[in-house]
Chains A and B, each alone.
Chain A
Amino acid sequence: MLKRLILDFAYYLQTSQSYQAKKKFFYNLLENDNCPYKKYVDMAMMTLIFVSVAVLIREVKFHVGDYMLFFSNYIISFVFFVEYMLRLWVNSSVSEIIVARAEHDTFLLRDVNLVKAFKIVLQLKLKYMFSLQALIDLFAILPFFHELRLLRIFILFRVFKLFRYAKSFQTLSSVLATKKFEFFTLAIFASIVIFVSSVLIYVMEGNNANSPIHTLFDAIYWSVVTISTVGYGDVTAVTQEGRFVAMLVIMAGIAVLAFTTSLFVSAFTEKLQEIKEMKIIEDVSKLKNFYLICGYERVAKEVSSKLAHRGKRIIVLDADEKRVEQAQKDGFIALHYNPGSVDSYKKLNIDINTQVKAILCLREDDVENVYAALTIRSLNKDVFILSLLMNDANRKKLTFAGINKTVYPQELVGLITKELVGKPVAFEVIHELRSENSPVMVDEIGITSRIVENFLTVKDLDNTDYKIVLLGVYKQKDDRFYFNPLDSTFIEAGDYLLVIGYKNFIKEFEQYLHTKVKHG
C-alpha cells in the first residue's frame, strides 16, 4: 500500500508540469550561469556574507545592536539554510530515480524494488552533502547556534561561500586543480623539510638557555617562518649548529618558493587561452541576433567587416588557428572551433533558433561548406544558411545539404560583364546604389501600424519633399513588389517601401514617417 502511494506520488511529480517548472526555475536560479537572474541571487548572497563578516569584526571590540545580531545569526542563517535545502533538492531528482527503477523492474516483470531506488537516492544526496561546497554551505549555517561561542567562528565559512558565487574564484581553483599532482609533491617536499628542520633545530637549540626555541612548537614555527623566506626574526638560531641548519632551511625555502611560483605561473599560462575562450563563450551565450560566420577567408573577412560596419554582431568559427588569430586581430569574436563538428556548437552553448540571425559558410571550399552546413542542419532545421559556391558542379550538393542561398562568384562575374557590356551607365548607377560608400543609396523602410495610422496611401508619403525616389512598395502578404505605385495605392502594416535617395534624407524621411502627428 505504502509502495503504491510512493510510486503514484513519484509518477505524479515526474509528470507534473508545474512541479518540474518550479524545480527548473530554482535550478536555473542557483546553478545555471546562463540564467539572467542568477547573478542577482549571487550578488544578494554575497552581500549577506559581507554583512555577517562585518558584524563578526565589529563585535570584537564594539557593541553590536541586537537587531543586527538577530539579522546576522538568524535571518542570514535562515536564508543560507533555505539555499542549502534548495540546492539539495535540485541536485538530483528523487522522483526520476524511483520512476526509472519502477519502469526497469516492470519491464523485466519484477516486483518494483524501492529499496534499491532509495539507496541510489541516498548515495546521490550524500555525495552532494559531502562535497566541499555543500560542506561549506552547511558550516555557514552553523552560526545560527551562536550561543555555542566556538561555532561563531564558522561565520568565516560564509566567506568560503564566496567561492560559489564569484566566477573568478572558480576559475582560480580550476586552474590550480590542473596542477594537483605537482602541488601535492611540493607539499610533501615542504612537509619533509619542515619536519626534519624542526626536529634538527629542536635538538640543536632546545637545551640552550639563550635560544628562544624551547618547545617543538617553537621549532616548527621557526621552520615555517624560515622556509617561507619571511623570517620575522623573533625566533632565531643562536648556536653554530642551529645556524648551519638555518642555512640549509633557507636554501630549501628558496627552492620551495621558486617551485611554488613556477607552478602558479605555468598553471595560468597553460590555461590562459582556455580561460579567455571560456570568457568569450560566456559572452557569446548572452548575445542575441548575431551572424555566425564559418570559415575566415577573403570573402568572409570582407563580409564581416561590412556587417560590422552596419553595427551587426559577428561570431567567427574556424578550424584554422591562424585564421582565427587574423579574425581576432580584425576585431571580431573568433573561436578556434571546427564549424563542421557538432561538439563545437555544444561547447558554444548557443541556441541557434533564438540567438543566430543567419549562418554564413564562407570557406572557399565547397567540401568544407557542405560539411559545415550538414552539421548545422543536424542541429537546427530552420536557421538561414548562406554559402559560397566555388564550383557550379557542386550547386546541387549544397542545396541538398540544406543551404538556403548560394553565392557563386563566377556567375556574378558573368552577369556583371553582361550588364557592363550592354548598359554600362545603368550598371554603374545600380552598383553605386548598392555600394556602402556611395552617398545615394537604396533602402527599405518597414511600415508599422503607427505609420499606417498617419499615411494611408502612397500620395500621403510626400517623399519628393525629401528628395526621395519611391521605387516601389513590397507587399509582404502577397510576396509581390509593386513598382512605381499609383498615388492611390494603400499602404499596409508589414509592407516595405523601397526608396532611393541621400542617406541623410532617407533617415529624415523615416523619422518623419514615425513621428508625424496623427491626422485630425
Chain B
Amino acid sequence: MDNITALIFGYNKYASEIIANVEDKYDEVRLFSLELETTPSKNDERYTIEYFDLSDSWHNVQEHIDTKHSIAFCVLEDTAENIFLTISLRAHFKDLTIIAIASDKESANKLKMAGANKVIPLVETTSDIITNMLEKPISNKVLHSILYEESALKIAQIKISAESHFNNELLSSIDWSRYNGIIVLSVMHSNMKSDFIYSSSMKEHIIKPGDILVVVGYDHDIQEFEKKIGSKRYVNWSHWSW
C-alpha cells in the first residue's frame, strides 16, 4: 500500500517549520532540495534530504506514494523556480494537493494559475496578522488561540452524515442555542463553498448529507454536539475548492 506522504520541496526555515507542524499527520515526510548534498539542521537530522532538479523526471517521487492523499509543499525561495516546480508537479500529479508560498500577490496569482491548491502569500499574511494585532487585539488573540489550539477552545468541521437527524431540515429553522457550548459559524454545502450561518443564501438552505458545519467550542461540547446530531469531524482535502 502506498504511503500518505508530505513532500517538501526546498529546504529552508519555512520547510523546518512545516516539518515541525505536519510530521505527525503523515506516514512519511520527504525533503527535497535543488542543491546537491544539503545537510539538514540539528532539528531535522532524522531526515535525509534528497536532490531534485526541475526536469520532468518524477519517477523517484511517484514510487510508493498515494498521490491522491499526499500533499506537496513548494517552498523554494526563488519565485520563478517555485512556480515552475508547481506547474511541473501539477502536470504529473493531477490529484496531488499542492500548497505553495508566495512572496507577493503577483506570484500568488501565478502559483494558483500553475495549479497550486492553496497559496500562502507571505507578505500579505504577515501584514494581516500585524494589522489585526494592532487594531483588533482581543479578537486577534481569541481567533489565534482558537485556530492554533493555544487554548481549550477549538474550531472543528463536522460533516453531516446520512443518519444525522438534521438531514432535510431548513438551516434557518434550527435553534442552535439548544446546543449549549458551541457556536456554528458557517456551513460548507454541496457547491463546495462555505457560507456564513446568517448569510442570505443560507436562509433557505436545506441540510443534506455531506454538508460540513464549522463550529467553535470546547472539545467536550463539540463531542456532545457530534453525538447529538449523529455526525463526525471530517477532514478531506479533496473537498477543498478555491
A interface with B by C-beta (< 8 Å) = 291, 298-299, 302-303, 306-307, 310, 312, 357-358, 360, 362, 386, 388, 391-392, 405, 407, 409-430, 432-436, 440, 442-444, 467-469, 471-472, 474, 481, 483-484, 496, 498, 500-502
Known: A423-B235, A430-B155, A484-B217. 18 other contacts (CB 8 A): A360-B134, A391-B13, A410-B16, A411-B17, A414-B17, A416-B125, A417-B17, A417-B99, A419-B148, A420-B118, A423-B157, A424-B237, A425-B157, A434-B128, A442-B136, A471-B183, A498-B142, A501-B198
Cross-interface CB contact of A414 among B20, B103, B128, B217, cutoff 8 Å: B20
Asked whether, in the complex, the Cβ of B125 is within 8 Å of the Cβ of A412, the reply is: yes
Complex CA gap A410/B103 in Å reads 12
A415 in contact with B142 given A306-B131, A307-B135, A468-B198 (CB within 8 Å): no
Asked whether, in the complex, the Cβ of B130 is within 8 Å of the Cβ of A407, the reply is: yes
Residues on A with C-beta less than 8 A from B25 are 421-422
Residues on B with C-beta less than 8 A from A472 are 142
B interface with A by C-beta (< 8 Å) = 13-14, 16-18, 20-22, 25, 71, 73, 75, 99, 101, 103-104, 118, 120, 122-136, 138-143, 146-148, 153, 155-157, 180-183, 185-186, 188, 194, 196-199, 212, 214, 216-218, 235, 237, 239-240
Task: For residue A427, give the distance in angstroms from its CB to the closest CB of chain B.
Answer: 7
Asked whether, in the complex, the Cβ of B133 is within 8 Å of the Cβ of A405, the reply is: yes
Residues on A with C-beta less than 8 A from B197 are 469
Residues on A with C-beta less than 8 A from B216 are 471, 483-484
When C-beta atoms are compared, the residue in chain A nearest to B143 turns out to be A430
Residues on A with C-beta less than 8 A from B133 are 386, 405, 407
Cβ-Cβ contact count across A and B, 8 Å cutoff = 178
Residues on A with C-beta less than 8 A from B155 are 423, 426, 429-430
Asked whether, in the complex, the Cβ of B153 is within 8 Å of the Cβ of A299, the reply is: no
Residues on B with C-beta less than 8 A from A409 are 122, 125-126
Asked whether, in the complex, the Cβ of A412 is within 8 Å of the Cβ of B214, the reply is: no
Residues on A with C-beta less than 8 A from B18 are 413-414, 417
Asked whether, in the complex, the Cβ of B122 is within 8 Å of the Cβ of A413, the reply is: yes
Asked whether, in the complex, the Cβ of B148 is within 8 Å of the Cβ of A425, the reply is: no
Complex CA gap A299/B141 in Å reads 21
When C-beta atoms are compared, the residue in chain A nearest to B126 turns out to be A409
Residues on B with C-beta less than 8 A from A307 are 131, 134-135
Complex CA gap A291/B25 in Å reads 41
